[in-house]
Structure 1
Amino acid sequence: MAELTEGRARLRQLAQESGASLASLSAMIGRNTSYLQQFITKGSPRKLEEEDRRKLAEFFGVPEAELGAPLQDFKEKSYATIPSVRRDPSGWVDIARLDVGASAGPGATPGEERSFDAFRFSRRWLREQGLEAALLSSITVEGDSMEPLLHDGDEILVDRSPKPFRDGVHVVWLGDSLMVKRVASAGGGRFALLSQNLAYPPVDVAADELEIIGRVVWKGGRV
């Protein structure tokens, strides 16, 4: 086992306190699920890449220096660290609301992906649903093709955890468009994108044309 440096020890402590698994944190930063486990226990890699360190620091709401950033590098940072998920010892967790719209119509190119607010969820409820806060985010529905299930302006919680695909409502990239549709396997390496509003016909796409971002697991909106 590698020597547990201050940065590695702090990362392990933060993960334990937040209730987020090292596997889910690895997936959050775009790495394979064993990446952070190997970093902590085997010392491989020797240090975190700057972008990985930045994402983790934002998630935990701590300075990058706590995760091994050179102090001089940290002093030169001019931006404020804004956590994508804020931790609360009372049993609640804040899930980021992203400044992104997923079209429920013909498709639209979203704006900048940044957090501007948060929804607060019970940690216990998330555990009961089998959801990990590190892999959740909230975005806005745009358009009417998913009515009456989803309405224009509704906000949806998207689970980005790497699970085997099953039919359901997903947020997907199709070309340059971010969309929310019911996605069904059509066989032969193809998928059907289905709208709840029957005025919109199904869209048949090849698997390599589609990127499934995550499954919609909750919705909120005005009555």
Structure 2
Amino acid sequence: MSTLQERLRQVMAGPPKISQAALARACGIKPPSVNDWISGKTKTIEGQNLLRAAEFLKVTPMWLATGKGAMRKAGPAVAPVSNAAMLGPISVWDDDTPLDDDEVYVPFLKEVELSAGSGRTVIEKSSSRKLRFGKQTLRNQGVQFDQAVCVTVHGNSMEPVLPDGSTVGVDKSSTAVKDGKMYAIDHGGELRVKTLYRMPGGGLRFRSFNQDEHPDEEYTAQQLAESGISVLGKVFWYSVLL
């Protein structure tokens, strides 16, 4: 399997040839960081940098991160960069942790089984698990304090951007789908995080970052209603557990 260094050199050799400075500008980082990728000093690219680099280089995030799967996809070349911002590792706090003046608690959503053995679940707020956010962080994202919730990502469908166990912040007031943005979804009581695209007639296309193992899912408006699928809100923040 190729290394990150080899994959970058392959695609940047062109045509067209891509400079380290151009890639750094596209990712919003300093050129020495890109040089670390090219030289092999840094072995992996993660999070927002991975998405931006893949979009700029017109390759798939999975191929760029791991060398697995197709280098390029038919149709949209890569999963687009979401409006979500990565703010780094986070800590979970309990009810006894006092808030600072510039902080608020944001609750988690969880799947709750309706009755023993039924297999049916509903999505509810956790009564104890929560994160604390700076009020200014939420303001900067245009999120009202009482409309923010957190969701834990399960499985590998959103890797390598959102590995299993990642946490995302969701703005419940933003449910109108904009193509290529990430949303939290209630799929008949199951919590899911996907990139969404609108389809004619009110349908939706669900897209995963790991498209080799999780191909697109398409639902008509009728199927959305019959399957109990609803958009909970747009992802505005995420954190990856390292």
Using the size of structure 1 for normalisation, the TM-score is: 0.52
SS of residue paired to 1:125: helix
Which of the residues 216, 224, 227 maps onto 1:202?
A: 216
Asked if 1 retains the 8 angstrom alpha-carbon contact of 2:201 and 2:221, the reply is no
Aligned-residue offset at 1:143: 0.6
Unaligned runs of 5+ in 2: 1-94, 113-119
Aligned partner of 2:106 in structure 1 is: 95
Aligned-residue offset at 1:120: 1.6
d(CA) in 1 for partners of 2:154, 2:122? 10
Aligned-residue offset at 1:89: 6.2
Per the alignment, do residues 219 and 166 of structure 1 end up closer, same or farther by CA in structure 2, a change over 3 Å counting? same
Which of the residues 189, 192, 215 maps onto 2:205?
A: 192
**Partner amino acid for 1:194?**
R
d(CA) in 1 for partners of 2:106, 2:125? 14
Asked if 1 retains the 8 angstrom alpha-carbon contact of 2:108 and 2:151, the reply is yes
Q: 1:108-136 CA distances to partner (integer Å, 9 max, x unpaired)?
A: 95676423232121112211211111011
Asked if 2 retains the 8 angstrom alpha-carbon contact of 1:99 and 1:116, the reply is no
Per the alignment, do residues 90 and 158 of structure 1 end up closer, same or farther by CA in structure 2, a change over 3 Å counting? same
Per the alignment, do residues 179 and 220 of structure 1 end up closer, same or farther by CA in structure 2, a change over 3 Å counting? same
SS of residue paired to 2:153: strand
Unaligned runs of 5+ in 1: 1-83, 102-107
Q: 1:192-221 CA distances to partner (integer Å, 9 max, x unpaired)?
A: 011110221111102341311111111123
Using the size of structure 2 for normalisation, the TM-score is: 0.48
d(CA) in 1 for partners of 2:174, 2:98? 23
Aligned partner of 1:116 in structure 2 is: 128
Aligned-residue offset at 1:139: 1.7
d(CA) in 2 for partners of 1:148, 1:96? 25
SS of residue paired to 2:163: coil
Aligned partner of 1:148 in structure 2 is: 160
Q: Give matches, 1:1-223, under 5 Å.
A: 88=99, 90-100=101-111, 109=121, 113-162=125-174, 164-167=176-179, 168-198=181-211, 199-208=213-222, 209=224, 210-223=229-242
More contact order relative to length (CA 8 Å, sep ≥ 6): 2
Q: How many residues align?
A: 133
Q: 1:14-54 CA distances to partner (integer Å, 9 max, x unpaired)?
A: xxxxxxxxxxxxxxxxxxxxxxxxxxxxxxxxxxxxxxxxx
Asked if 1 retains the 8 angstrom alpha-carbon contact of 2:177 and 2:196, the reply is no
